[in-house]
Amino acid sequence: MAENANAALRTGVRLEVFTVAWMFAEAVLAIGAGVAARSILLTGFGFDSVIELLSGVTLLWRLSSEARGLSAPNLESVERRATRISAVLLVLLCAYLLFFGLGGLVLGQRPEPSVLGVVVAAAAVVVMPVLAWRKRRANAIIGSAALRADIAETITCAYMAGATLAGAGLNLLFGWWWAEYLGALALLIFVAMETKEAIEAARD
């Protein structure tokens, strides 16, 4: 039983290492594509990846410490601080999507089509559900509440990637620039749900 638990922990660590690396690349590419195309949708998707990167780094630290058998009483304190930071960043992301999304739509600012943005979002749509499934299998043995929350974030990222892909894809294929603003609205809904959960977790 202990061997199964240790094996699951090692798998969890490897999956979080992959998550951190993926989110870093996703954030850099999405934000870069968003800035280049003047796309609120792609930039917002990239900023959310930064927030999930922070969460992944915190969880990786926890799982690595547990896998090494180290006692770290300050880990809970660190996780609480990370949760509060994530909540603040998510509130700012909501404000960004709302303010600049509505402002860009009212002013008729047309984001340029972005092949890179579509590719990044499409890759996330494929990878995130598989990653969530692998994490869920490992957590069936580990039983970590923090990892369970991380799995929910990974699934949310898949939905957000789908919304981003739809908006950026319609702009790329048909020149429907306004579809990116609809995608940003869908993104805002998912981010708002994440924000609510993060604020509740920070209070608890």
Structural fold of domain 2-203: Alpha-lytic protease prodomain-like (1.20.1510)
Q: Which residues of the chain have pLDDT under 70?
A: 1-3, 5, 66-79, 82, 204
Predicted local distance difference test score (pLDDT) of residue 22: 96
Predicted local distance difference test score (pLDDT) of residue 129: 96
Provide the residue ranges of all domains of the chain, joining segments of one domain with +: 2-203
CA distances from 194 to 83, 107, 111, 114 (A): 11, 29, 26, 26
Give 195: exposed, middle or buried? Use CB within 10 Å, 0-12, 13-18, 19+: buried
pLDDT, tens digit, 9 for 90 and up, residues 23-76: 999 999 999 999 999 999 999 999 989 988 988 888 787 777 766 665 556 666
Predicted local distance difference test score (pLDDT) of residue 18: 95
**Closest to 165 (Cα-Cα) out of 51, 39, 54:** 39
Predicted local distance difference test score (pLDDT) of residue 74: 63
Decide: pTM greater than 0.85.
yes
